[in-house]
Amino acid sequence: MDWSRVKDKNIYIDVNISKMNEIGARIIGGKEADPNSVPYMAAVLVNGNVFCGGSLITRSWVLTAAHCTEEGSYARIILGAHRPLQIESTQITVTSNNIINHPRWDSTRLIHDIALIKLPSQVPDSSIIHPIPIAPANSGSFAGVTGLLTGWGYTSDQTPGLSETLQQVYLQFISVEECREYAGILAHETNICTSGFNGNQNVGSCFGDSGSPIVADGVQVGVVSFGSRQCALGSITSYARVSSYADWIESYTQS
């Protein structure tokens, strides 16, 4: 595999940075995850050259972002990885050409940015590779709740490129109204946002790849969709709100 050809597919927007200090410090911290401590985490390589994150939500299905897979004819899924650019004994790699983008995905409005990938067969269940439940349709807003975001994305503006190791960061969800102060009309009810500003340092939105999961209270709450263009300035990361799509997801995963 020629990893030099691989690129991310992150979406960035210009945000209202004048509102930034009103949120204040909301994150706990960012660091390298302990190896194989996030058993649902998936690396998703689309068409051999687009890298995104994803999550194993059943033994046969991976959840990711539609903007990652919208032009995809196949996806290579790496499970059980800490260093996905290397071969590790814990890894399982499968290839799927069964990609299902949400039918209402809108790349202009950045809405319904969610997709499913069906694996060719069930993967073995273990402590290293294990699905994460999705947030049910009747979930609340999660505003004020802390979630765990994981991914292999940029660790700063100064060091663009994939992180060699899985990164993690704790972030606090904010309300849709608060998110609209930054993202304006792009903050939809079917999205959920976190703050990534902590004093003079952002350790949030740069860590997560597009498609990566954010988890709270033992369920997946969001799928990374877009964030601030100026990563080092902090601000928000926006996710597809998983509970808004629970019925759509389960129409495939439970059929």
- Give the catalytic positions in this structure: 67, 113, 210
3-state secondary structure string across 10-60: CEEECCCHHHHHHCCCCCCEEEECCCCCCCCEEEEEECCCEEEEEEEEECC
Distance of alpha carbon 145 from alpha carbon 16, whole angstroms: 23
The dihedral sign for the CA sequence 231, 228, 204, 95 = negative
Q: Cα separation of 9 and 88, whole Å?
A: 25
Alpha-carbon distance 204 to 228, whole Å?
11
